[in-house]
């Protein structure tokens, strides 16, 4: 086991090397001495027992079983792509050092939207072609839509990064950053992503969807992390945001915000047994979708997700929005800033969802009411307990039913299950302070 440590240390920059303790016979990567706390090597750590839904059955170990030949430290997109190995299931540990920009070519040169554009696509021509006043409400088709698709495919080839089974991805130190990337944990089991910031999965080529939301809407392609047919996934101490490129700064076309981002962390298509802990979701519209269709009945009995000790700051909606899943939402911190005039809701109870929301803390400006925190999308049940709203206890369920009587059916407290896989549940106030100090990338100590 000493050999393993030595091999890991050899891969680290000298400054990150773990001091050797000759008298310390234990092999415990957590115990590396007080003087090196900031450099704790988390590469082979696994999800603790009983830590949320991802600890069910065999638990979640990611790439902990990787041999030394499959422990990679990567510093650019090309290295990351090689390490991911096309989404192979070989146990592997991928450590990201510094900043990696997904919008780069194989030589590491930055690619911008113009570099992907092909087939004569231009936004100006696209807007002229599919203006609802002349084009109507049919789906865009024809040369500009074909050119948009071809251009989008060129960007997708760079930014979509497939993550396979038995993989751990961790950031090194406190500044690991993946820009513009869309991590796709797809048809995979046993994956860990920790201590990593992923920022601005910006779509150069949003599509116009004329029948979305009544008057049509723009749809962007990329989630910073998308779980699709994924099981046993632990997302911990990640920071996901649109930092640098907020959608609210984008122009309005066809009377709708020209959205450039989709979800921050979407969990769909039969994904199951997921724990999301100590992470930050910030500066974004639709943060987290769990279940992407009312008719996706294959999701029934799946989409079991635990969200604890996360921070949702400056998020407009979907924190999360749930269909079908048994979702345990505890000890999270929500911050709606004073200037957030686009805030819609936080917890979305969708079709056949069974959310257990307890001991969460909500901070909002005066124009947001406690009854706004919950929205039902054909939901029927929601269990709430011990939540606080601007430091005062609030019964979200009773409030929701009082404010929405007549417009939508009442939600009952009977979700049909009781969470058992979880660590200690703190008071909302204690969790609020701990999350403010400790959630997000660069904060594992
Ligand atoms: Ca999505």
pLDDT band at 406 (very low <50, low <70, confident <90, very high): low
Per DSSP, the residues of 46-91 read -PPTTSSGGGSTT---TTTT--GGGEEEE-SHHHHHHHHGGG--S-
- From CA 253, how far away is CA 54, in angstroms rounded? 41
Q: What is the 17 CA–ligand 1 centroid distance (Å)? A: 39
Structure tokens at 265: 């962390």
User: Domain limits of the chain?
Assistant: 5-112+160-438
pLDDT digits (tens, 9 = 90+) for 172-191: 999 999 999 999 999 999 99
Q: What is the 61 CA–ligand 1 centroid distance (Å)? A: 26
Q: Which of the 8 DSSP states describes residue 192?
A: E
Decide if domain 5-112+160-438 falls under CATH 3.40.50.720: no
- Give me the sign of the Cα torsion angle 409, 412, 415, 421: positive
Lookup result for tokens 């400056």: 314
Cα separations (Å) of 66 from 91, 265, 361, 372, 376? 5, 26, 39, 47, 44
pLDDT digits (tens, 9 = 90+) for 331-355: 999 999 998 878 999 999 999 999 9
- Give me the sign of the Cα torsion angle 289, 272, 313, 169: negative
Structure tokens at 442: 């660069």
Q: Is the pLDDT of residue 23 over 50?
A: no
Q: List the catalytic residues.
A: 318
- From CA 435, how far away is CA 103, in angstroms rounded? 32
Structure tokens at 352: 């056949």
Q: What is the 393 CA–ligand 1 centroid distance (Å)? A: 33
Please, are residues 379 and 413 in contact by the beta-carbon 8 Å criterion? no
pLDDT of residue 378: 93
pLDDT digits (tens, 9 = 90+) for 348-402: 999 999 999 999 999 999 999 999 999 999 999 999 999 999 999 999 999 999 8
| Most distant pair of Cα atoms in the chain: their distance | 78
Quick one: which of 12, 16, 18, 14 has its CA closest to 30? 18
- From CA 151, how far away is CA 342, in angstroms rounded? 31
Percent of all residues in the chain with a pLDDT value above 70, rounded to a whole number = 91
Q: What is the 55 CA–ligand 1 centroid distance (Å)? A: 25
- CA count, 13 A, side-chain hemisphere, 7: 13
Measured in residues, the chain has a length of: 445
């Amino acid at each position: 086991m000493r050999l393993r440590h030595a091999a890991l240390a050899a891969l680290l920059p000298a400054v990150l090397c773990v001091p050797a303790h000759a008298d310390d016979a234990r092999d415990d990567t957590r115990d590396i001495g007080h003087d090196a706390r900031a450099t704790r090597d988390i590469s082979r750590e696994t999800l603790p027992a009983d830590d949320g839904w991802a600890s069910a059955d065999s638990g979640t170990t990611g790439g902990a079983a990787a041999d030394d030949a499959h422990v990679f430290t990567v510093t650019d997109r090309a290295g990351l792509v090689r390490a991911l190995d096309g989404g192979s299931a070989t146990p592997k540990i991928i450590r990201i050092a510094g900043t990696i920009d997904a919008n780069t070519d194989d030589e590491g040169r930055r690619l911008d939207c113009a570099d992907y554009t092909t087939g004569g696509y231009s936004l100006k021509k696209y807007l002229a072609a599919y203006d609802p006043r002349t084009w109507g409400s049919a789906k865009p088709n024809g040369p500009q839509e074909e050119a948009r698709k071809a251009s989008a495919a060129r960007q997708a080839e760079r930014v979509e990064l497939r993550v396979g089974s038995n993989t751990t991805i961790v950031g090194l130190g406190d500044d690991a950053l993946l820009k513009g990337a869309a991590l796709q944990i797809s048809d995979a089991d046993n994956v860990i992503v920790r201590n990593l910031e992923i920022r601005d999965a910006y779509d150069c080529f949003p599509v116009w969807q004329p029948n979305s939301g009544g008057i049509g809407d723009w749809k962007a392609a990329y989630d910073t992390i998308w779980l699709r047919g994924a099981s046993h996934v632990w997302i911990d101490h990640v920071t996901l945001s649109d930092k640098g490129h907020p959608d609210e700064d984008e122009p309005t076309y066809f009377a709708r915000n020209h959205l450039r981002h989709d979800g921050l962390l979407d969990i769909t298509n039969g994904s199951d047994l997921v724990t999301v802990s100590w992470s930050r979701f910030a500066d974004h519209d639709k943060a987290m979708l769990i279940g992407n269709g009312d008719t996706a009945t294959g999701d029934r009995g799946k989409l079991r997700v635990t969200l604890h000790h996360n921070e949702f700051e400056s998020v407009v909606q979907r924190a999360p929005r749930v269909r079908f899943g048994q979702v345990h939402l505890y000890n999270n911190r929500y911050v709606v800033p004073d200037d957030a005039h686009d805030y819609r809701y936080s917890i979305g109870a969708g079709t056949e969802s069974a959310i257990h929301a307890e001991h969460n803390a909500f901070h909002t400006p005066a124009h947001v009411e406690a009854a706004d925190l919950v929205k039902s999308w054909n939901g029927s049940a929601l269990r709430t307990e011990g939540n606080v709203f601007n430091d005062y206890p609030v019964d979200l369920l009773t409030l929701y039913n009082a404010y929405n009587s007549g417009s939508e059916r009442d939600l009952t407290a009977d979700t049909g299950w009781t969470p058992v896989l979880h660590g200690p549940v703190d008071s909302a106030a204690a969790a609020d302070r701990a999350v403010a100090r400790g959630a997000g990338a660069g904060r594992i100590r």
